[in-house]
A = this chain, B = another copy of it.
């Protein structure tokens, strides 16, 4: 049984562009993170898009829903920027049934030494194997159902409603 990881970008994958001195996206760090975690779980990684979650439009969100619905796997982790993660969770809840979908991300880019990304990825891959069908947000050791979570932007944390 394989876990599908759908990559959409987000803080997770932000990189420092040396020439321009800005944060940018190049390629996903998820395969490198799986190697670092010596992940022995059977996973298949697919990059859907590489965007800041503030650029997550209805159209792009529909694409995430579609891939979750269509892929063969019933256990799916979606990496996503934190700012609109809850909105995408809601869209997934209306569009996907009979599967366990866990959204995760990071408060600090993986490329930074101080990132929470590896911890969150290990966490999401574990929740997805054990939780019943449904849509969840897994961040910083906690797991919320899609309909009982919001991002507290002042504190930079996810909370129940």
Could you give, for residues 99-138 of chain A, a 1 whenever the CB lies within 8 Å of some chain B CB and a 0 otherwise? Answer: 0000000011101111110111111111101110000001
How many copies, total? 4
Across the interface, which residues of B come within 8 angstroms of A71, CB to CB? none
Q: Say if the beta carbon of A141 comes within 8 Å of chain B.
A: yes
Q: Which of A6-24 contact B (CB under 8 A)?
A: 11, 16, 18-19, 21-23
In this assembly, does A47 line the interface, its C-beta being within 8 Å of a C-beta of chain B? no
Size bracket of the A interface: 35 or more
CB-CB < 8 A to A142: which residues of B? 40-41
A39-61 Cβ-contact flags toward B at 8 Å (1 or 0) = 11101000000001000000000
Q: Which residues of A contact B (CB under 8 A)?
A: 11, 16, 18-19, 21-23, 33-34, 36-41, 43, 52, 83, 107-109, 111-116, 118-127, 129-131, 138-143, 153-154, 156-158
